[in-house]
Structures are given as structure tokens and as C-alpha cells.
Amino acid sequence: MKRQFVVIGLGRFGTSVALNLSAIGHEVLVIDKNANAVQSIAHDVTHAVIADCRDEEQIKALGVRNFDVAVVAIGDDIQASILIALMLKDMGIPYVAAKAQTALHGRVLEKIGVDRVVYPEKDMGLRLAHSLVTANVLDFIELTPGYSVIEVLAPSKFKNKSLAELDLRAKYKVSVMAIKRGTDIVIAPGGDEIIQAKDELVILAKNDVLKDLQDKD
């Protein structure tokens, strides 16, 4: 399902999130007060705006309250990060993710109701982008540009079917490396392995197949 995202702050992290969300095919509005940063990404996202998001009236004028997800990717200004996240939550945006510089910063963001606190050293922009739009992706580790190891909750359409029947390599060009089933792990499962409800598949795949491996809303 196509969603609308707003990314505030265009440092390396914010730019990575915005570009990957756009590449997946979602509508993305980026906002930063740095004109050069905004211009550099303008052709790769849906909308790019120069604005100071500490000004609540500017945010409201941009219609940000109508977006599905907001990502606060402000760099070193912790005070601005907290203020903007608080305003976004007050506006009623359904899901707000925010970058934290320190553990204390993260705890403050959690206290004001941020739905997901992101620590850049643990959550790359690419991983966050995919996890925000693909509900059944549990983890995402990029090996090389274009290819990743992905831990994904098995889609309902896979339930009670064998790997041979699903023929994932032919249909989706993915390889199932393991199946996590509760506390058990099936390593290098054979074609006769039946996918069960709540199975977690660890697969090697191209990034662009993620949209085919999710349950549709």
C-alpha cells in the first residue's frame, strides 16, 4: 500500500531514509532549512521544501498533519529534535520515528510519545525505510548494494505450502537460508518443508522483491 512520508532533516541519515522510501515507491516530502540539501534531493522525491520546522505554523502550512509517517532526522540539535517530534505527535500523525543522538535523548523522545526511536549506529536509513513500509520485515541487513539478508514473517499466502510448491527461487529470486519456528531453527530447509503460521524466514534476496513478500492491506 502506498503511503505518505515526511522526512525532516537532510543529513546523511535523513537523506538515506528519504531516498530509499522514494525508491520503494512511496510519496515522500522532505523538509530542511538548508537550501543546498533540499535542492540536491529535489528530483528524487515527491516534494522538497526549504523550511524551519521549529516553526509550528510552517509545519502546519505544509499539511504535514495529513501524512501517515514522519521521520525526524535532525542532526546535532537535540532541542529542535525533541520540539519537532512533540509538535508532530500533537498534530496527530499516526507514526513518528525520530533519530536519537544519545541514550538520554532517546529516553526523552520515548517519554513524549515517539513511536520509534532510532540510533544511527544501530539502524541504517535503509533498514528503517524498509521496516516502516513492509510490516512483516523483522530485520534487514544489506550485504551489497541491491542484495540483503532479510528476516521476514512468512506471508499468509505461504501458509501450509511447501518450499518446493512455493518455488521462491523461481518466482521471487530469493533463497531461504533458515526458518525460525518459535525456539527452533531449521537450517537450510529442504523443499518438503511446510511453512507454518508465524514462521520467520531468513532469506537472501534482492531488495526490490520486498514488496512481493508482504501481506497486502
Q: What is the pLDDT of residue 81?
A: 94
- Collapsing DSSP to helix, strand or coil, 81 comes out as helix
* Predicted local confidence at residue 90, as pLDDT: 92
Q: CB–CB of 160/206 below 8 Å?
A: no
Identify the three-state secondary structure at position 124.
Answer: coil
**pLDDT computed for residue 217 by the predictor:** 45
Structural domain 135-213, CATH architecture: 2-Layer Sandwich (3.30)
How far is residue 75's CA from residue 14's CA, in Å, rounded to a whole number?
Answer: 9
**Enclosing H/E stretch for 59:** helix 56-61
Q: Where are the domains of the chain?
A: 4-132, 135-213
The CATH superfamily holding the domain 4-132 is NAD(P)-binding Rossmann-like Domain (3.40.50.720)
Q: What is the largest CA-CA distance in the chain?
A: 59
Position 125 scores a pLDDT of 61
Q: For 32-81, write each residue's pLDDT tens digit.
A: 999 999 999 999 999 999 999 999 898 899 999 999 999 999 977 899 99
- pLDDT at position 94: 92
Q: Which three cell numbers stand for residue 184?
A: 527452533
Q: Is 77 helix (H, G, I), strand (E, B) or coil?
A: coil
Query: Do 4-132 and 135-213 share a fold?
Result: no
pTM of the full structure: 0.62
Question: For residue 28, what pLDDT is reported?
Answer: 94
* Regions of the chain short of the pLDDT cut 70: 1, 121-147, 207-217
Position 201 scores a pLDDT of 85
Q: With the C-alpha atoms ordered 160, 164, 170, 176, is the resulting torsion angle positive or negative?
A: positive
Tell me how far CA of residue 145 lies from CA of 39, 134, 142, 206, 211, in angstroms.
Answer: 25, 19, 7, 9, 17
